[in-house]
Amino acid sequence: MTAVETQVQYTTTTYMMTTEDYMHQEDDWDRDLLLDPAWEKQQRKTFTAWCNSHLRKAGTQIENIEEDFRNGLKLMLLLEVISGERLPKPDKGKMRFHKIANVNKALDFICSKGVKLVSIGAEEIVDGNVKMTLGMIWTIILRFAIQDISVEETSAKEGLLLWCQRKTAPYRNVNVQNFHISWKDGLALCALIHRHRPDLIDYSKLRKDDPIGNLNTAFEVAEKYLDIPKMLDAEDIVNTPKPDEKAIMTYVSCFYHAFAGAEQAETAANRICKVLAVNQENERLMEEYEKLASELLEWIRRTIPWLENRVAEQTMRAMQQKLEDFRDYRRIHKPPRVQEKCQLEINFNTLQTKLRLSNRPAFMPSEGKMVSDIANAWKGLEQVEKGYEEWLLTEIRRLERLDHLAEKFKQKCKLHEAWTSGKEDLLSQKDYESASLMEIRALMRKHEAFESDLAAHQDRVEQIAAIAQELNELDYHDAATVNTRCQGICDQWDNLGTLTQKRRDALERVEKLWETIDQLYLEFAKRAAPFNNWMDGAMEDLQDMFIVHSIEEIQSLITAHDQFKATLPEADKERMATMGIQNEITKIAQTYGIKLSGINPYTNLSPQDISNKWDAVKHLVPLRDQMLQEEVARQQANERLRRQFAAQANVIGPWIQTKMEEIGHVSVDITGSLEDQMNNLKQYEQNIINYKSNIDKLEGDHQLIQEALIFDNKHTNYTMEHIRVGWEQLLTTIARTINEVENQILTRDAKGISQEQLNEFRASFNHFDRKRNGMMDPDDFRACLISMGYDLVSAACAVSHSRAPFPGRPRRFHGDRSALTTPTSHSSPPQGEVEFARIMTLVDPNNTGVVTFQAFIDFMTRETAETDTAEQVMASFKILASDKAYITVEELRRELPPEQAEYCISRMTKYVGTDIPTGALDYISFSSALYGESDL
């Protein structure tokens, strides 16, 4: 009994399988089935060797597996050795019931480990039932040697198979798919040994056509150097069509446990690769952000000078081309940049989320490339853009006015110059010196008529000067020509006044020489001249160019024209009266036989001139009617354009506002999973994108309005600029909202946060979001933390005694709130206030005075989830370095994939110390740098 009572200490393995999973694999142990003779032979040898590999630690062994376990003593001893636990004291008798009792104690111990024994009873073991005994030993092997094997969340048989596949993958002629025929040629066993101990086997010399030699090589090396007893016969394996799976698994599991230390190094290497992959991806995203930010800022830098160039063109056509270029910029060149700006913000938020989730320091872009810098540059661009469009429209209005005034100036100058043509020569004549009395009188009256005509033209000269002045004030491009022509007219006018006065003086000097004057000629001249001037003015007004911008303005012109037409009957009476004077002259001449020369000595106007001009006035009236009606039609068309634009704008504007509000509501809705919210938002985004055709149609109507030179619209408060800005904000808002949900999914998956926890966080946030704008002020955030059970005082104490910036889990608040607000002394703030101030610097780093939902989620997930740390990475490197304070280049290249190994080598600094090999690197400072920390 000494051997039975020997106490051997072993580490208990972790139970990885449920009872149902374990027994599901062993349902082939049926009492009524028979083992294949070849399999039974292999199992006997393998199981016996496996049991002896443990029993020898207690100083004993078995020879016959079904005989030596019959009394239960060695069976109980085997269980004590492999479990490290004491079983109940065995019965000392040799009777059958003593043996059954001992076997039952062993079986009860197996059952206590969560193993359900199917069809295996103590009586069958005591009776030496070979099949039941082998089944029991297999159950023990599964529970204590195989069950704890786990690779990538698999366990037991699958985990062991996956481990074998990975270790033998690089070897030629090896393809492990199972635990029977994949091992017949012996190469898989030799590959396992060579992978971990290449010094024991020269794999390059092995041949696939020598299975017995390969198997015996593996068995001998394993027994001699790895302390794994020979449990199989090479001939039995080779000569059996399908070797016994349980025997192979038992033998292979010994290799797994023998190489467990190497597995620890591989696990450490996998962890390091994962961390390095995260860093490499983050660096790629940083470079991508920097590149995109540089390109966007460079585009803004190039565009702003173009928009700031306010050098006006001299022609309407050139300015309209500038307006068309600006439209192309708004429709073609700017929209892709709007998308780039939105994508840049989304990439930045996603990158910061990934950095937080991987416990890395926040990304700080290069100077001048922060999101705020880009936003400010974009704001400056939009301000310049708005000013440029306003300047364009103002310049077009100015040029339109200038063209109108210039044409009007030319028309009036042409009329005036036609009237003044030859007047200076006429006034300079000395005809009165040789004229008769009647001729002198005629000259005097003619001069009086001219003075009347000259006075009547004073208004036109003043109009010409006023138009020239306005053209100068509006910076007309050909102002020099206008000024020259205007100055010539004014100088000529002054000269005419001087000559007129001189001629009057001369005629007055000789007036006393003349006695009579033909009153009728004089009367005709006096009445014909002003009537002629009236007709000239009427013709000028009827041909006058006009510019209007509304139906009201054209209606005003029509009213004025109607009023003019109402004066025509009275003017016709004046014409008849004037023509009556000429008729009276003719009548008197006929009555008294006076021979008339046919020329009125007092005027150049003839009755035919009056009749012709009157006919011309009557002809111009209907033409003026037609022009006014055409302008009415144009203004009505403009009004239709205004109403058409307003009808769409008054729908699109509120639609955009409604969608903005709906997105705001969606962003705080906690119903459904994040994936459901994401799908809803994606559908929402698609609906918004589908609405783009309405914006494009409105842009088309806006272009028609601008081409028609329409500058106001009383039917709507929405301008195209309002709609553009609203649309761009709507696209940006939905994209940002989708990005927030994506970041929440990233946070949830990376931190292991459940949907219920996220819903709880959202519900708490919404409760304290007083303004329902997706943000909390600091006081509401403090109340929200307390409601979530966060103890600011305890957290502050924990931080003051720990180098980590956050506590590991939310602290539950106990006691009243005075501990959070009442100072403990007059010389320093309370610990709760200090802790809250520290938390605010985390959730509101830019000191905006509000806490967003994303910042709240980041803080709460950091408080409720575990993350990898610099210490964990150091520990992994320490394993690869065999507990040294440094690691060599060869070790990195041996243990890590090539890409990750070179990444570490290029960034690790040289280790400083004495008696160290060449190429020793400092993995401690490298691990700290990965997390933005100083050397630990």
CB proximity list for 818: less than 8 A, separation 6 or greater: none
| HSE-CB of 602 using CA atoms within 13 angstroms | 23
What six digits make up the tokens of 703?
A: 């272009």
CB-side exposure of 839: number of CA atoms within 13 Å? 32
User: Rounded to whole angstroms, what are the CA distances from 354 to 59, 286, 348, 675, 810?
Assistant: 57, 11, 10, 19, 22
User: From its phi and psi, is residue 802 left (phi > 0), alpha (psi between -120 and 50) or beta?
Assistant: beta
* Residue carrying structure tokens 């964990």: 872
pLDDT score for 434: 59
Could you identify the residue written with the tokens 């700290």?
A: 928
Q: What is the DSSP string of 277-345?
A: HHHHHHHHHHHHHHHHHHHHHHHHHHHHHHHH-----SSHHHHHHHHHHHHHIIIIIHHHHHHHHHHHH
Return d(Cα 250, Cα 142) in angstroms, integer.
8
Q: Which residue has the tokens 């927030």?
A: 740
Cα angle value 313/319/321 (rounded, 5°): 125
Question: How far, in whole angstroms, is CA 714 from its chain's centroid?
Answer: 37
Neighbours of 56 (CB within 10 A): 12
What is the end-to-end Cα distance of the chain in Å, rounded? Answer: 55
d(C-alpha 223, C-alpha 676), whole Å: 59
The pLDDT assigned to 809 comes to 38
Q: How far apart are CA 344 and CA 338, in angstroms?
A: 10
pLDDT score at 19: 30
Write the pLDDT tens digit of every residue in 544-572.
887 877 788 888 888 988 888 888 898 88
Counting as low any pLDDT under 50, the low residues of the chain are 1-34, 513-517, 592-594, 798-827, 935-936
How far, in Å, CA of 621 to CA of 627, rounded? 10
Q: Which amino acid does the sequence have at 199?
A: D
**Chain centre to alpha carbon of residue 94:** 83
How high is the pLDDT of residue 20? 37
Does the CA dihedral 459-463-469-473 come out positive or negative? Answer: positive
Token pair, residue 340, equals: 């780039």
150, β-bridge pairs: 155
CA distance to 96, 292, 307, 711, per residue, from 382 (Å): 99, 19, 10, 21
Closest CA to 777 of 835, 832, 847: 847
User: What is the reported pTM?
Assistant: 0.51
Q: How many whole angstroms separate alpha carbon 138 and alpha carbon 722?
A: 79
So what's the pLDDT on residue 217? 93
Number of C-alpha atoms within 13 angstroms, CB side, residue 217?
A: 22
Residue type, 346: I
Alpha-helical regions (H) of 567-691: 568-592, 607-667, 674-690
Residue 473: both structure tokens together:
């004030």
Task: Dig out the tokens for 742 from the structure.
Answer: 């994506």
Quote the Cα angle for 769-773-779, to 5°: 35
Query: Is residue 578 exposed (0-12), middle (13-18) or buried (19+ Cβ within 10 Å)?
Result: buried
Contacts (Cβ under 8 Å, ≥6 apart) of 772: 664, 668
What pLDDT, on a 0 to 100 scale, did the predictor assign at position 893?
Answer: 87
Phi, psi of 748 (to 5 degrees): -60, -50
Residue 516 Cα to chain centre, angstroms:
99
The identity of residue 501, as a single letter, is Q
Interatomic CA distance for residues 642 and 648, integer angstroms: 10
Phi-psi region of 122 (alpha: psi -120 to 50; beta: other; left: phi over 0): alpha
Whether the CA torsion 572, 574, 579, 580 is positive or negative: it is positive
445-474 exposure pattern, b = at least 16 Cβ within 10 A, e = fewer: bbbbbbbebbebbeebbeebbebbeebeee
Q: How far apart are CA 495 and CA 500, in angstroms?
A: 8
Q: Nearest-CA neighbor of 73 among 5, 4, 126?
A: 4
3-class state of residue 16 by DSSP:
coil
617 CA to centre of own chain: 69
Contact 398, 319 (CB under 8 A): no
Which residues, 6+ apart, have CB-to-CB distance to 865 below 8 Å? 750, 751, 752, 753
